[in-house]
Every structure is written in structure tokens, then in C-alpha cells.
A and B are shown apart, each in its own frame.
Chain A
Amino acid sequence: MLRTLRRVADRRRQASGQYGWLFNPYTGNEMVALDCETTGLDPKTAELVSIAAVKVRGDRVMTSDSLDLRLQRPSSLTGDSICIHGLRGVDLDGGDSLREALVKLLDFVGNRPLIGWRIGFDLLVINRHLRPLLGFDLPNSLIDVEQRFARNLRRSHPMVEPVLNFESVADALNVPVMGRHTALGDAVTTALMYVRLSKTQLPRLAHDSIDNAREG
């Protein structure tokens, strides 16, 4: 609700600006899977380390048409998060500034719908940085693969208590996990999960993968 109101306001403000076109409804057949690596798990303080996006056209994941950005070292980069995404301070030397990165991201994504795994979090972090710089939030429509999976599973197997972690869902959908905890790897895996989910409306889960989902 709040997001909608904000979007309306942003749209009015940007109507004649450089990014006004982002607010137009999208009519093409492409979508963009998005993933960020951050310095923490709290959207209020986490800073961006890398952003990746890959286009999805129909049932194809266009890995040849993808974006993989590393940002300049944020001040809050600490050991804990380095252990997860494996990007050390030195790996970020020569990375983009926040502004450059966000502009590249906007150019790549355009007004296409966004796909993501718990995309709300990524979006909160991006918007927290985007608003001070450009004055608006990402207006794109969103598809959260986690919710989509949970909904499909509820419809096909109402009794199964879904375990919604990234690996077990990928496993249940029979999608290989590509380079976990690299932004682009997660983005590609998420894109594959989405393609898989939209191919068969209700996933035909093999029993063992349900068991895995339970245990996992």
C-alpha cells in the first residue's frame, strides 16, 4: 500500500525527468532475475557488495545477457559477511561507485518485471541507496520465487509443511544450484527456479524431494 503510494508520487515527480520511462507499464516478454550480496542481513544497515541481474526470455535464461557488478568497498564490510559471499576488500578494488552501479542496473533492468528469491530484502537495500541518489524507488513489478513456490506447493500438496530455504527448493524443483552466494550464481538459479515454476503450474514433486524439503 505504502509502496503504491510512493510509486505514484515518484512517478509524478519523475514524469519529465531522465527516468520517467521506468514508470511506464512493461509490454515485452522479458523479465530480469536479480540478486545482491550485502554486508549484513538487516535491510536498514546492510550495504551493497555486489549486484547481479540476468534476463529471462520465455523459457530461456539469457546468461549471455547478464549484469555482474562489484561495488567499491563499503565501510561496513566485515569478516562475517565475507565468509558468506567470499568477496574480500581487495576483491572489490576497482569496483563501481554506488551511483555508477545503480545507473548501470537501471539501464539494464529498465521497466521489466523483477524476479528474485526473497526479493523484498534486496529491494529494500537497493531503494535505501537509490532514493538519496536519484530520488525514487525501483518501480518495477515484482515476483518473489519463494512465495510463488510456497503457493504452488500449498495448492498441490496442502498437507506438506514447506521448508523454504534456497537449496532445498532448488532441489525440489530439480534445478542445479549454480555458484551459491555469488550474486550472479544466485540470480541464475533463481531465474531457473522461476522458469521451472512457470512451466508446470503445479510442480509434480517426487516423494523423495518432498521428504528432502521436510528434512532440509
Chain B
Amino acid sequence: MVDVDLTQPPFTLLDEAGRDRVRTGIDLAYFDEEEIILDAGQPGEYVFIIHKGEVAELDTSVPTAQARIGHYTAGDLFGAISILNGKSRYRFKAEQESLCYLMPKALFNRLCQDYPAFAEFFRQSLAHKARLLTERRAEGGVTMAGFMLARISECMRAPLIVDESTSIASAVSTLNDSHSDSLLVGRDGRFGMVTKTDLLNALVMEGLESSSQVIGIAHFDLVTATPDQYLFEALVRMTRHKVARVVVIEQGAPVGVVELTDVLSYFSSRSYVVSLQVEQAESLDELVRASARTPELVRALMAQGVRLRFAMELLAALNGRIISKAVGFLVDPARLEQSCLMVMGSEGRGEQILKTDQDNALILADGTDWPDCQAQMAQITDTLIRLGYPRCPGNIMVSNPAWVGSEAAWRARVARWAASRDGDSLMNLAILLDAHAVAGNPRLLDTLRDEMFERCSRDELLLSYFARSTLRFSTPLTLFGSLKRPQHGIDIKKGGIFPIVHGVRTLALERRIRPTSTLERLDALAAEGRLEDRFAEDLGEALSLFTELRLKQQLARLDDPDTGRDANRVVVQHLSSLERDLMREALHIVKDFKQRLSHRFHLEY
């Protein structure tokens, strides 16, 4: 009679017979408070599964203050690594009276032999384990998850291809015969898109003859995708490029077309509806209504087990459209051409899933004369507040003249910040580095970015100052469980998210990497060889994990604003044992990353 919970990984990797062997093969042991369960250097004889109580993992080679490296509670498993390595690296001590199941070494080794997936679990990286978590979440999801994980190849229709000599008249009849909305015209191996709207415009607005060649009105700058991408990514692309169809290309040739209406038939959920509402909004009020629905969308996406990376991309694209549309209502398009509105901070990195604050700024082209600029900018800030983006506590908004300026003014600011290197300047630089253009002329931002790279990326001293703040908050490994009141939890924003984001930002500045999203920066750093692929992947997973944990709490707060809890704080005891395991590993990765940074930028002193 053993009440052991075998429904969590790694035991889910065994079959029923294997789990029975675990059930019949384990013993129970009782440990007093402060009792050492397994000492450093001791050979591992058992795998311990905690039934009740709490166990601390201590590194005996360092001073006691930093010794604690892990914390285990009910449902957690430890000692397996000690068996695999022959002896324990760390000391395991009971923090409370603890009751543990003991799986003898012989049984563990036999299970590892008989179930390779089980053995693999103990050697896996965080990324693999995180995938397990996503899969588990997706299992519980509704059929919608099927859509989210569907590939483009499952939803595309065969392309309608005509040759370049086709006339408009025959193109129209081809479209009618095949009941589709668009066709592709081929010329010299290149393909152009012609939609029904294009045909209509050509005939009515431009007055072309129905016998003229259809190639004259084709668009050759196609928005493309590959068949094995997620359908979801096609949707992201449509939202971003404001088009209703994506051409699927395989080995240089079009193999299909994904129409927005087809995606719709797969996907009757809110995501599309929200982005459609945003696109169709004719007035600010309609836009406000659409914008207010984004939390619903986030919640639906999370419930369906969509990987956080895709959810972030979709939301970033959507937020970008909302802001750009709002600015379009308020500002004269001609003025907009001579300026660039950029979002910064988390919004600029595309990592703001829920609207937590607005950081934005404006660059004016040199020589622009715009007298009531400041008044209009104040209006933009107020409008964004109406749209649900709370005021930035640091006043980093276009309503603040310090964040509006001509190109020359911005260059001077960057130079001043780079030269003074004090706390505020470094923070401003960091914020500006994440800037992403949402409205107006994006070339202005590109030029400014080049200027920043030019000024900063070779300045070792500045980089060192810049990197230093990654070490400002300690990694909360040491806080696990030893808090006076564990319900305070640990701050994952300071302890996990910030060091990764800022560290990656610093490296991106050093290597002049243009993308602003942390995950894209990591990809670029890995491609350059600045970070190993595996480490970059693990960092990305760690960031996704922290963001997801935080998002869950933010959503919980939206439901019940009176909980009064800080959404950045995660109470370890509320997590499942797999989540705790992941969190532990993620924090170790953060610690490792900080060590690398302090080595690279000489932050030891």
C-alpha cells in the first residue's frame, strides 16, 4: 500500500507495468528536521521522492550564505543524478520533518535500462522538459489546440497559376470557374499576385480594357511562407503586412495559397475577430472596443497551449496595429511621413502580452516644421491610455518633450548618454535600444540605431557599465522556501526576466544586432556563434517560462483585481512539481548566464 503519486513526469514516461514496479519496489523513510539525507561525496543509493516535507539542496563548498542551491517539496524527486554520477555533488538536508519514498539504486538502474525515455529525462535540457509541460497543457486544451498546432500545408489550397499572356477577361472567368479570390501570374520563374480587388480597380478605376494583359496589374512583392510553418505564423504575417492571403513557397515555386477566409473556417475564435475588429475600426471608439478584447484573446491562446513565442508575436503585431491605427486617426499622414513614432521597452521587444505600460517616443526628420507637435503628442498619450495602455510611471511618453526630438536632437541625446554613463543615461539607452517603429517612417529609427551602434558597440567601458546592472538583483535560488513567509514568493521579474533581457540586450548592442525581441536576438547571437545554440535555446526557454508564469498571475489579477498580489511574485509552493523543477533549472541557467556576462564584461570588481 503505497500512496505515491506517479502521474507527474518522469513517471509518466513509464508504462503501467513500470509504474507497478515502482510502487512495489519503494520504501518509506522518515527524516527529522535538520537531518542530512544525502551528504556531498556520498554515493547515491536511492532516488528520493518526497511525500511530505521540504528538503534543501546545499553546496558545501561555498560559504553558508550562498550555499543553498535548490529546494524540493512534496512530489519532487532528487538523488537520481547522484546515482547516475556515482556520488552526490551536493548535500541534501531536511528543512522540515520529511517523509520520503526511497527507490533503490538497482531498481532505478533497471528502469533506466528498460525505459530509455525515462533515462533520457534525467539527462535532458530545460528546453526538452519545457516541451513536456506544453504538451501536457495542450492535452487538456480544447480542439482549438489542433488549429493552433496545425501546419500551413493542412490549410492551403492549390494555387491558381496562369501564364503571362492571360488577359483580364480570361483571368476573371478562371477565377469564377474555380471559386477563388486570387490567382498567380508567372513570368521568368517569378510570380505575381492578382486579386479580385485588383481586377476591379484595373477595370473601373484605371479604365483598362478587358483584353489587356493581367500581368500589368500583378503584385510581385509577395508575402510568403513555407508549408511546414504553423498556420498561426501565417496569421501573424497577415496581421503584420495587412494582407488577406499568404503564398506558400517550397523550393522557390509556389505550391499553395492560404486565404484568410480559409484560416477563418479553421479558426472561429477571437484572435481573428479581434484583429479584424482592429482593421475595420473606423473610429477611435471602435478601436477602444477592439483593444479591450485582447486579454480575452491572450487567455484563449494560453488555454490552448500555444507556445508563448507565437502568442507574443501575434500580440506584438496586434498591439503595433492598434497603436499605428490610433496614430493614423490623430495625425495628418503627411506629418507622419516626416516622423517616426516608436514603442520601446517591453512593447518594443514585442514581449508585452498584456498592456502593462506605454513607453514611446517620436523622432522628427531634420528640418520638419510642426508647430503643434507637442499638443498632438499629448493627445496621442491620452488616446493610448483610453486604449488600455497605462501611463508610464517613468514618464517615458511622447507627451514628455524629452522623448520627442529631431534627428539631430536624438543624436545629441545618445552622445550625451553614452558619455555620461550614469544610471539614468544607461537606463535611457537600454530603453531606446529596444525601440521599434510602429507608425511613420521607420528609416528614421534605423538611422538612429546605426548611430547608437556606432557610438556604443566598440566602447568597452560603456558596455561594461551597461552590463553591470544585470547583476543588480541576485538570482533568487537562495530564497526558495527559506523566506520568513513563503507566501511572499520570489520576484521572477527581477530574478529571472530582467537579467536575461538585459544581458541579451547588451550582447546584441555589442554585436550590432538589429532585431529587438529577446528571442530573435538570441537566435541572431547563436547564428553569429556568440552563444552556443543549446545555451541560447535554454535561455529562450527560461525566459518563456518566467514570462508564462508571470502572465498566468497577471491574468488571475485581471479576473480578481482585489487579490492585491504583485504579479511578478511567484509562490513556489503553488506550482506543480514539474513547474518547480523547470523553474529551478531556469534559475540555474540565469545564474550561469550572469557568470558568463561578468566574465565577458569584467564585472567581478
Which residues of A are interface residues toward B (Cβ below 8 A)?
Answer: 52, 59-66, 68, 174-176, 178-179, 182, 184-185, 187-188, 191-192, 195-196, 199-200
Contacts and interface: CB of A to CB of B under 8 A. Distances in A.
B28 A192 contact: yes
Contacts of A200: 32
Given A174-B97, A176-B99, A59 B29 contact: yes
B468 interface: no
Given A176-B52, A199-B32, A61 B27 contact: yes
A200 to B, nearest CB: 7
A65 B32 CA distance: 23
A120 B101 CA distance: 30
29 contacts: A52-B1, A59-B29, A59-B31, A60-B27, A61-B27, A62-B27, A63-B26, A63-B27, A64-B24, A64-B27, A66-B1, A174-B52, A175-B99, A176-B3, A176-B51, A176-B52, A178-B1, A178-B2, A179-B3, A185-B1, A188-B2, A188-B28, A191-B28, A192-B30, A192-B99, A195-B30, A196-B97, A199-B30, A199-B32
B30 A63 contact: no
A94 to B, nearest CB: 19
Given A179-B1, A188-B2, A196-B97, 14 more contacts: A52-B1, A59-B30, A59-B31, A60-B28, A61-B27, A61-B29, A63-B2, A63-B26, A64-B24, A174-B52, A176-B52, A178-B3, A191-B28, A192-B28
A45 B2 CA distance: 31
The 10 closest A-B pairs by CB, nearest first: A184-B1, A61-B28, A185-B1, A179-B1, A195-B30, A60-B29, A178-B3, A62-B27, A64-B25, A63-B2
B105 to A, nearest CB: 13
Nearest to B107: A64
Interface of B: 1-3, 24-32, 51-52, 97, 99, 101-102, 104
A73 to B, nearest CB: 21
B30 A68 contact: no
By CB atoms of chain B within 10 A, which of A63, A178, A184 has the most? A63
A195 B32 CA distance: 11
Contacts of A185: 1, 3
Query: Per DSSP, are chain B's interface residues mostly helix, strand or loop, or mixed?
Result: strand
A190 B24 CA distance: 19
A179 B30 CA distance: 18
Contacts of B29: 59-61
A196 B30 contact: yes
Contacts of B2: 63, 178, 188
Nearest to B97: A174
Given A176-B51, A176-B52, A176-B99, A188 B1 contact: yes
Nearest to B29: A60
Contacts of A192: 28, 30, 99
A200 B3 CA distance: 25
B38 to A, nearest CB: 14
A60 B27 CA distance: 7
Nearest to B25: A64
Contacts of B26: 63-64
Nearest to B98: A174
A197 to B, nearest CB: 10
Contacts of A175: 99
A71 to B, nearest CB: 17
B479 to A, nearest CB: 25
Contacts of B32: 199-200
A199 B31 CA distance: 9
Contacts of A62: 27
A179 B2 CA distance: 8
B94 to A, nearest CB: 12
Contacts of B31: 59
A176 B24 CA distance: 19
Nearest to A178: B3
Contacts of B104: 64
Contacts of B28: 60-61, 63, 188, 191-192
A109 to B, nearest CB: 18
Contacts of B99: 175-176, 192
B25 to A, nearest CB: 5
Nearest to A198: B30
A182 B104 CA distance: 25
A182 B2 CA distance: 11
Nearest to B52: A176
A60 B102 contact: yes
Nearest to A185: B1
Most buried by A among B27, B51, B101, B104: B27
A180 to B, nearest CB: 10
Nearest to A184: B1
A196 B32 CA distance: 9
Contacts of A191: 28
A52 B2 CA distance: 13
Nearest to A57: B27
Contacts of B52: 174, 176
A75 to B, nearest CB: 27
Nearest to A58: B29
A63 B101 CA distance: 9
B417 to A, nearest CB: 57
Contacts of A176: 3, 51-52, 99
A191 B29 CA distance: 10
Contacts of A195: 30
A176 B32 CA distance: 15
Contacts of A199: 30, 32
Contacts of A182: 1
A180 B418 CA distance: 70
B363 to A, nearest CB: 64
A3 B24 CA distance: 36
A66 B3 CA distance: 15
Contacts of A184: 1
A60 B24 CA distance: 15
A191 B1 CA distance: 12
B104 to A, nearest CB: 8
A101 B361 CA distance: 84
A199 to B, nearest CB: 6
A155 B66 CA distance: 41
B403 to A, nearest CB: 56
A206 to B, nearest CB: 11
A192 B1 CA distance: 13
A215 B2 CA distance: 29
B206 to A, nearest CB: 80
Contacts of A188: 1-2, 28
A176 B50 CA distance: 12
A61 B1 CA distance: 12
B20 to A, nearest CB: 12
Nearest to B32: A199
Contacts of B27: 60-65
